[in-house]
Amino acid sequence: MELFITCPKGLEEPLFEELKLLGATSLKLTQAGVRVESDLEFAYRACLWSRLANRVLLLLDLVPAADAEALYDGVYAIDWLAHLRPEGTLTVDFNGRSDAINNTHFGALKVKDAIVDAVRDKTGSRPSVERKHPDLRINVHLKREQAQIAIDLSGESLHRRGYRLLAGAAPMKENLAAAILARSGVKTGASDLPDLILDPMCGSGTLLTEAAMILADIAPGLKRRQFGFDRWVQHEAPLWNLLREEAQARREAGLAQTLPQLRGYDADAQVLDRARANAAELGIEHLIKLERCDLANLTAPQADAGLVISNPPYGERLGEQSSLRFLYAELGTFLKTQCGGWKAAVFTSNPELGKVMGLRADKIYKLFNGALPSQLLLFAVFSQQQRAEVETEREAARGEQGEQSAQISEQAQMLENRLRKNLKALARWVKREQLEAYRVYDADLPEYAVAIDRYGEQLVIQEYAPPASVDPVKAFRRLQDAVNVVGRVFEVGADKIILKQRKRQAGADQYQRQAQQGRTDLVREHGCLFEVNLRDFLDTGLFLDHRPVRKRIQELSKGKDVLNLFCYTATASVHAAVGGANSVTSVDMSATYLEWAQRNFALNKLEGPQYQFVQADCMQWLDRPRRERFHLIFMDPPTFSNSKRMQDVLDVQRDHQFLVRSAMGLLKPGGLLIFSNNYRRFKMDYEGLSEFSIQEITPKTIDQDFKRNAKIHVCFDIQ
């Protein structure tokens, strides 16, 4: 038999070595797999024992495929009755394109027709198509003007072991986990295995489960219920059953041995339940000890020789990068302080995150997580004594490094001095206004491009996304400085500090959740109480820079009918109601924000039919004829919005003439429109709106905590 055994990109060499250990003698390394000349017994062994392969393909022929008819003729000529019963079922997996055949569905249909016609012409019976569990799965790979025709003996991909009942949000494939373990030295029967294998962020436990299977000599295919050869005409059931019995005996012998400890930790109790269920399905739950614990509070068990193996998060969602850098830094600290003398293996699809661990990798393997280029970083972690010796040598050899460390420390001190100076300057004003939410720092020093906001006892640090030219590791070190300084100045722990990254928003990003914690806090402003969510969204529910505008609305609203367009969480509406407004109407497109708005009203004990909440696209709402009129309208549209719920795209510079004119049509005689937005280059079209009296009042709407950033918004009175 000629077999082509496929694998994920980057695993070709480990697969080659694995197949040699399984008994293959004639092998050829190729892209995305290994070609093997062997017999049926080896094909079965590969399906049962390969931890790295995706599929075991039995090659039948290489046929001409200059066009669809040539492909049909070549497939028709194969003896399909040697593989498929006349009334059997089949499916075709077709990949590759050419000038003549540029549609995989069309190519698969042509191959299916050729097989069905060949069997029918010889027997009078016609096979049928069955996609889920066919008798025969045919694999066709088209390249240039030739097509490789093969039978898939594995069925569905071999990475599906049959034990994973539940998985986490982004589960690692089992054969990738096995490859990481192999590169890390975890092999069946190895003489130099560690005493302990620990995954500090184990998720649903794929790495530990695969490690247990390797250590206990459990065949990865033993739990699978179906293979592609089950109903193949040439299947030899007695031979297959013999190999399964052998694998079962090896499993029992492996489980009877004394194996290294396997320990997994995660902060999420739900994913640990999934890990336990998966291990129980394999009957190896006694081999893996799982505990709920986050990395910050984790204490490594005692062991002379240990291996820490981990696949930490490396997401690209809005605002994640800053928090993830701290997670990786924390992992580096954990390794350096608690795992001296051990080995470590960290798999990541973001090498920049790997750099912040503060450890130098001894080996780096390039792998792929799906289509995502990734790296496996292998470390030999120094003991404390070794580290002290190395640091002494480095300090002696690199005097400049010591100077640089001192310089960085001096910069951090500069940040602390500036922060204390700002707090002192704001203290009297904060006390007089009785504010609990305000900005204390906004990129005052170019080295520390962050904004720091205080919400009661919570501190939010927003990192302005650094340019691509800035070394991300250096940027992270400065962010670490900022976090440490904030902790010292405000005397709070890390649990009171929230990190975010503020960057230019586009499309759906401007509405995207950063997390799903659902935790909220309360802050007071000018006699009003507001709910803020400091973790789940980039914006917290309270625009701090609009505080003077809200105060003015509160002062102007007594006895008036007030409209708040693009109301967000309706904080300005609350101020209007607290100020004695006769009625308040709040309009926004987001149901989430309107529910939040109603909670803000409830917090301030504001109830009644005079308070209306309208879910609508404000552009469309304004474009419809309306009878109601208002004394005071506040409108603070976004700079840009292309939400799916909108019929059109909103561009505040382009559309402000329509917005202003439409809102002015809803004012009662002598009424006032307060129009605001945050577009830094906004230019009011005075000429196009010449029928109205327009006065820019921006300087009056900038409070003390935003004096350093007076361009944060613009504001106009329009009458």
**Segment 125-174, tens digit of pLDDT:** 999 999 889 999 999 999 989 999 999 999 999 999 999 876 655 679 99
* 189, pLDDT greater than 50: yes
Half-sphere exposure of 370 (CA within 13 A, CB side): 5
Q: Which residues are 563's β-sheet partners? A: 585, 633
* 646, pLDDT greater than 60: no
Report the run of H or E that residue 439 belongs to, with start and end.
strand 437-442
How far, in Å, CA of 647 to CA of 620, rounded?
8
Closest CA to 683 of 705, 693, 698: 698
* 101, pLDDT greater than 80: yes
Q: Angle 73-77-78 (CA atoms, 0-180°, nearest 5)?
A: 130
CB atoms within 10 A of CB 340: 16
Closest CA to 50 of 227, 194, 205: 227
pLDDT of res. 69: 95
Phi-psi region of 144 (alpha: psi -120 to 50; beta: other; left: phi over 0): left
* 94, pLDDT greater than 60: yes
Burial of 350 (0-12, 13-18, 19+ CB in 10 A): buried
Label residues 265-302 b or e (16+ Cβ within 10 Å = b): bbebeebbebbbbbbebbebbebbebeeeebeebebee
Instruction: Give per-residue pLDDT as tens, 437-447.
Output: 999 999 999 88
By mean pLDDT, which of 208-222, 336-350, 351-365 is the weakest? 351-365
Alpha carbon 631 to its chain centroid, in Å, reads: 47
CB atoms within 10 A of CB 31: 7
Q: What is the mean pLDDT of residues 574-595?
A: 97
The amino acid at 184? S
Closest CA to 45 of 205, 233, 231, 247: 247
State the distance between the two ends of the chain, measured CA to CA, in whole angstroms. 87
Q: What is the mean pLDDT of residues 233-259?
A: 96
Report the run of H or E that residue 715 belongs to, with start and end.
strand 714-718
Q: Angle 281-283-285 (CA atoms, 0-180°, nearest 5)?
A: 95
* 316, pLDDT greater than 60: no
Concatenate the DSSP letters of all residues of 491-559 into one string: T--GGGEEEEEE----GGGGG--S------EEEEETTEEEEE-SSSSSS-S--GGGHHHHHHHHHH-TT
Q: Which two tokens stand for residue 267?
A: 């902060």
Burial of 707 (0-12, 13-18, 19+ CB in 10 A): exposed
Instruction: Give per-residue pLDDT as tens, 554-567.
Output: 999 999 999 999 99
Closest CA to 147 of 215, 86, 77: 77
% of the chain at pLDDT higher than 90: 74
Q: What is the mean pLDDT of residues 545-555?
A: 97
Q: What is the mean pLDDT of residues 13-24?
A: 96
* 295, pLDDT greater than 80: yes
Report the run of H or E that residue 210 belongs to, with start and end.
helix 206-215
Q: Is the Cβ–Cβ distance between 73 and 271 less than 8 Å?
A: no
How far, in Å, CA of 490 to CA of 311, rounded?
34
Which pLDDT band, with edges at 50, 70 and 90, does 411 fall under?
Answer: confident
Which pLDDT band, with edges at 50, 70 and 90, does 514 fall under?
Answer: very low
Which domains does the chain possess?
2-152 (3.30.2130.30), 174-217+258-388 (3.40.50.150), 398-503 (3.30.750.80), 528-718 (3.40.50.150)
Alpha carbon 138 to its chain centroid, in Å, reads: 35
Assign 3-class secondary structure to 319-378: CHHHHHHHHHHHHHHHHHHHCCCCEEEEEECCHHHHHCCCCCCCEEEEEEECCEEEEEEE
Which pLDDT band, with edges at 50, 70 and 90, does 642 fall under?
Answer: confident
Q: Which two tokens stand for residue 362?
A: 């001894």
